[in-house]
A and B are shown apart, each in its own frame.
Chain A
């Protein structure tokens, strides 16, 4: 049986850990609220944008933009939106599993967030770039990434760009998603637009100012930028929620552990007292 002092030491260390996890839980839940709000509001924006876009689709075929062209040659680029820090449960490893099964080994990879980089190195995937974003989201930070992806796509290095991210469903549930970012396809637009609640009427004849071509060429880059932004925001919301849940369960585990250890401690102490009494009475008996 462990000595009293050992048990006491363990209780102390578990208590310290639980204080840390508790603090992390609080921090994550504060950040989560902000990240969630951004992610949910961004969804309305992107589907509104897709909704406008949807009405242009008749004209899309005629004036195809370079961002929509499907190329014959070129490699595959996969953008993996993971986290910079750990302690967020199975969030990153779930995403990684999904990526490994869905994406071919010869594709090029970009990570946003550094946590999965060792895994990519270990499995021998070709990681071409890794970016880190701060906890508070700033659009300017995303710009170099957007430029990199767009330029690599436009100059024909890549024929498709796919994004893997954790979609935020609710605090308990995040779903790994792998979607194609470029080229932008009409089908994907329709799927995004359908999330918007306005009634659907594709036959409407819209006046287009200043002409479909120039509308399309200004809305497409905007749509592309905001789609990736939205996916990053979803990833951030997922990260904070997952971390909060993970830290919450860690704190609870620590509490049960402390309870069990305290019980053990009390038992050990009682045994010690009983032993001492036994020794005293034996000694007294011997002296009689």
Chain B
């Protein structure tokens, strides 16, 4: 089963896997060879896949997963290994977003508010992931 992760900055993964688990917006799901063709949206969280008998893990941001004839394609804005996450930067970004949401709550439009909330949710998920992984 071929698996690709594409982010705006790079092709994060391009290899053959025997299975993967990921956080879809409607709950965690697993994709094994022979899975029916599917398109689903993906939430922030941990993605694990098995390649060459090894279980590996990544943090993925929101995006879309497409399974087509055993080809799996994940289009997401973020895909990072635990080692690549810098908790200080994430923490700083988190505080910045929270501060903006708090201080400017009255002047923000609904979209801006939603955008900031999405940012916060993502940073929190990233913190949580890196906390669990690095322990």
Contacts and interface: CB of A to CB of B under 8 A. Distances in A.
A214 to B, nearest CB: 8
Interface string A165-202: 00000000000000000000000000000000010010
A113 interface: no
A48 B8 contact: no
A208 B39 CA distance: 5
A51 B41 contact: no
Contact of A208 (B10, B25, B40): B40
Interface stretch (A39-47, A97-105, A246-254, A271-279): A39-47
B6 A209 contact: no
Contacts, number: 75
B64 to A, nearest CB: 5
Given A201-B68, A201-B69, A204-B68, A48 B41 contact: no
B39 A56 contact: yes
A52 B25 contact: no
Contacts of A206: 37-39, 66, 68
A105 B41 CA distance: 42
B60 to A, nearest CB: 14
B8 A215 contact: no
B9 interface: yes
B43 to A, nearest CB: 11
B40 A44 contact: no
Contacts of A214: 41
Contacts of B75: 45, 48-49, 52
B11 interface: yes
A85 to B, nearest CB: 25
Task: Identify whether the interface residues of A are mostly helix, strand, loop, or mixed.
Answer: helix
B69 A204 contact: yes
A38 interface: yes
B39 A52 contact: yes
A45 B7 contact: yes
B9 A41 contact: yes
A198 B9 CA distance: 20
Contact of B68 (A44, A49, A198, A208): A198
B40 to A, nearest CB: 4
Contacts of B11: 41, 44
B92 to A, nearest CB: 14
B36 interface: yes
Contacts of B111: 147
Contact of B39 (A42, A45, A48, A207): A207
A67 to B, nearest CB: 14
A51 B69 contact: no
Contacts of A143: 115
Given A42-B8, A55-B66, A209-B24, A48 B40 contact: no
A52 B66 CA distance: 6
A219 interface: yes
A147 B24 CA distance: 28
B7 A210 contact: no
Contact of B73 (A38, A52, A215): A52
9 contacts: A45-B75, A48-B6, A204-B37, A204-B68, A206-B66, A207-B37, A208-B39, A208-B40, A210-B26
Interface of B: 4, 6-11, 24-26, 36-41, 64, 66, 68-69, 71, 73, 75, 111, 115
Give the 7 A-B CB pairs with smallest separation, nearest first.
A209-B40, A207-B38, A48-B6, A45-B8, A48-B75, A206-B37, A52-B66
